[in-house]
């Protein structure tokens, strides 16, 4: 599969994926036992003035936890559609929605307002993460449109689409996905939809863990693209 190859690739739409670079620090060996990675600006240590947390920080042992601040952008989106995760007794209990929350165990999709193009985008998102297919995910990004990264509902920084894809490719190589399901889709406007997803994966220690994600998809012509992403652990 291309995702796990050392090759780069340029897509017709202007999206580029970097070729792999060799692991240069022994500290990264635990994350990249195959000896290479795609996003080149990770940090393995936390120094608050130098780094931000990675979009995949809550995935145990899958990716380096930090990225260098100087290679990302601080440009908060004009409108934040990401919702704040709710925790009850320290356990994840869904994303807040206008003063109330939805149980994360419920499957809820606003199917009356999901047209065929949006439905296809949601299915592509699920397939990309279920099967570790970075090629499918590229079609859910828009060249020149940054992706805002959130952590537990709080904005952190923004990435170019190319950088987000390179990080996600690293993540897909390291993650052993058990299940990935979008359990909620909510149309916020004609051109905006928020998604909530549950990702069950097996860590390098063999234990099964869960991380929750929220995505914002926005319409560009007839296609839909990711513009905001949030991650939240299953327990605080």
Q: Tokens 């990004």 correspond to what residue?
A: 141
Whole-number pLDDT of residue 95: 65
CATH of 2-233, one of 3.40.50.150, 1.10.3720.10, 2.60.40.1220, 3.10.450.50: 3.10.450.50
pLDDT of residue 103: 46
pLDDT the model gives residue 66: 94
pLDDT in tens, 159-211: 999 999 999 999 999 999 999 999 889 889 999 999 999 999 998 788 899 99
- Which pLDDT does position 27 carry in this prediction? 86
Q: Whole-number mean pLDDT of the chain?
A: 88
pLDDT in tens, 88-137: 777 777 666 544 444 444 444 555 667 889 999 999 999 999 999 999 99
More confident site: 65 or 45: 65
Q: Domain map of the chain by residue range?
A: 2-233
Q: What is the pLDDT of residue 68?
A: 95
Using CA atoms of 76, 77, 80, 82 in order, give the dihedral in degrees to the nearest 10.
Answer: -80
Average pLDDT over residues 33-55: 89
222 against 106, higher pLDDT: 222
Residue 197 near residue 181, CB atoms below 8 Å: yes
Q: Residue 97: what pLDDT?
A: 54
Could you give the CA distance from residue 159 to residue 147 in angstroms, rounded to a whole number?
A: 5
CB proximity list for 165: less than 8 A, separation 6 or greater? 15, 17, 134, 137, 138, 141
State residue 150's pLDDT score. Answer: 97
């Amino acid at each position: 599969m291309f995702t796990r190859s050392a090759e780069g690739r340029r897509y017709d739409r202007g999206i580029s994926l970097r070729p792999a670079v060799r692991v240069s620090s022994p500290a990264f060996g635990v994350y990249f036992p195959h000896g290479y990675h795609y996003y080149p600006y990770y940090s393995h240590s936390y120094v608050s003035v130098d780094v931000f947390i990675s979009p995949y920080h809550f995935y145990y042992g899958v990716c380096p936890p930090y990225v260098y601040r100087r290679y990302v952008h601080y440009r908060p989106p004009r409108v934040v559609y990401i919702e704040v995760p709710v925790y009850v007794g320290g356990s994840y209990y869904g994303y807040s929605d206008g003063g109330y929350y939805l149980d994360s165990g419920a499957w809820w999709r606003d199917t009356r307002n999901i047209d065929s193009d949006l439905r296809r985008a949601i299915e592509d998102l699920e397939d990309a993460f279920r099967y570790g297919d970075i090629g499918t995910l590229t079609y859910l990004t828009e060249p020149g449109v940054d992706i805002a990264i959130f952590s537990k509902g709080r904005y952190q920084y923004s990435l170019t689409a190319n950088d987000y894809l390179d990080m996600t490719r690293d993540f897909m190589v390291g993650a052993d996905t058990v299940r990935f399901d979008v359990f909620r889709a909510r149309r916020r406007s004609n051109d905006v939809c928020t998604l909530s997803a549950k990702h069950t994966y097996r860590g390098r220690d063999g234990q099964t863990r869960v991380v929750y994600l929220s995505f914002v998809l926005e319409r560009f012509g007839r296609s839909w693209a990711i513009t905001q992403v949030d991650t939240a652990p299953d327990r605080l």
